[in-house]
């Protein structure tokens, strides 16, 4: 039998027997179930929100040029979109780290949304030529459209998750959220919240001795060599190596910005 070794991780949880662990787990479960039921109640309240009618013939710009917003529904009656922030003229690594995380999580959810009769798209205020290049580089597969110079509820402020309803040729805004209201889309956050060391973000309430988090968000910027930075060589951390794409090892280094 090999001898067990331990490095004694900083601030690691206390070690107890299974019975004591189960008792602590059952106590927390009471709070978790209350949280779940409150989430169900909030979802029920969302379904009871009123809605605002708007002109669905307003044109947005996509890969086929200008199209009426109605086309985003793809003949379905419901549509959920993420409004991706945009920095004009910025290299790919200069776009919003939070928005790239949300857009990436939504990519794989599309097939399930469609199966439930809900269409999905990403809207942004960027110029379409820049947006198209970014979308191709990142490998996003969901529909993207430019809503540049358009007003709410189609355009306007970015960084929002927004839901719409179509009734024939009439279109309605039904729901919108921003900030941490977007977190349910980003499944990695919920998974990290179930690990002993959490997200590793500076704002988290950690036990005594647990390492402090790094900045406000663990996915904020590094350069191509993994050095934390906010200068022109940086980009959102997870996107240096993108699923199903050749690892990018030059973009973001000085002299290779774009």
**Residues 171-227: tens digit of each pLDDT:** 999 999 999 999 999 998 999 999 999 988 888 999 989 888 766 666 666 666 667
Q: Of 4 and 151, which is predicted with more confidence? A: 151
**Strand 118-124 relative to strand 170-177: parallel, antiparallel, unpaired?**
unpaired
Q: What are phi and psi of 142, to 5 degrees?
A: -80, 160
Interatomic CA distance for residues 87 and 69, integer angstroms: 23
Tell me, what's the pLDDT at 27? Answer: 98
73-89 burial, b at 16+ Cβ within 10 Å, e below that, comes to beeeebbbbbbbbbeee
Handedness of CA 190, 192, 195, 201 (dihedral sign): negative
Interatomic CA distance for residues 245 and 258, integer angstroms: 17
Q: Of 100 and 58, which is predicted with more confidence? A: 58
Least confident piece of the model among 68-72, 89-93, 211-215, 217-221: 217-221
Residue 160 makes CB contacts below 8 A (sequence gap 6+) with 82, 83, 176, 177, 178, 182
In sequence order, what are the beta bridge partners of 125?
none
Interatomic CA distance for residues 79 and 174, integer angstroms: 10
Q: Which residue from 258, 254, 201 is spatially nearest to 231, judged by alpha carbons?
A: 254
- 224-248 pLDDT tens trace: 666 766 666 666 555 544 544 444 4
Tell me, what's the pLDDT at 237? Answer: 57
Interatomic CA distance for residues 251 and 258, integer angstroms: 6
**Residue 144 to residues 37, 165, 168, 220: CA-CA distances in angstroms?**
35, 19, 23, 23
**Tally of residues, the chain:** 258
Q: Which residue from 228, 217, 255 is spatially nearest to 102, judged by alpha carbons?
A: 217
Interatomic CA distance for residues 152 and 210, integer angstroms: 44
In sequence order, what are the beta bridge partners of 145?
123
Interatomic CA distance for residues 197 and 165, integer angstroms: 40
Q: Which residue from 63, 88, 58 is spatially nearest to 152, judged by alpha carbons?
A: 58
Q: Are 202 and 214 in contact (CB under 8 A)?
A: yes
Q: Can you give the residue ranges of every domain in the chain?
A: 46-184
Neighbours of 159 (CB within 10 A): 15
Interatomic CA distance for residues 142 and 111, integer angstroms: 10
Please state which CATH number belongs to domain 46-184: 3.40.30.10
């Amino acid at each position: 039998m090999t001898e067990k070794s331990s490095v004694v991780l900083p601030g690691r949880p206390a070690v107890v027997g299974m019975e004591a662990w189960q008792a602590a787990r059952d106590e927390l479960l009471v709070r978790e179930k209350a949280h779940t039921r409150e989430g169900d109640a909030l979802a029920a309240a969302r379904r009871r929100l009123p809605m605002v009618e708007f002109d669905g013939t307003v044109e947005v710009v996509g890969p086929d040029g200008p199209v009426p917003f109605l086309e985003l529904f793809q003949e379905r009656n419901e549509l959920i979109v993420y409004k991706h922030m945009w920095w004009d003229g910025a290299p790919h690594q200069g776009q919003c780290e939070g928005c790239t995380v949300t857009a990436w999580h939504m990519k794989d959810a599309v097939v399930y949304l469609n199966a439930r009769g809900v269409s999905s798209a990403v809207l942004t205020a960027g110029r379409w030529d820049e947006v198209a290049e970014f979308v191709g580089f990142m490998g996003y597969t969901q529909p993207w459209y430019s809503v540049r110079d358009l007003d709410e509820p189609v355009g306007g402020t970015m960084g929002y998750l927004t839901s719409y309803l179509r009734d024939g040729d009439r279109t309605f805004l039904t729901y919108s959220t921003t900030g941490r209201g977007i977190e349910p889309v980003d499944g990695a956050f919920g998974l990290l919240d179930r690990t002993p060391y959490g997200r590793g973000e500076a704002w988290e309430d950690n036990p005594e001795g647990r390492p402090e988090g790094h900045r406000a968000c663990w996915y904020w910027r590094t350069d191509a060599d993994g050095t934390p930075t906010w200068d022109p060589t940086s980009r959102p951390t997870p996107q240096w190596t993108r699923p199903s794409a050749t690892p990018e090892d030059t973009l973001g280094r000085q002299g290779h910005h774009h």
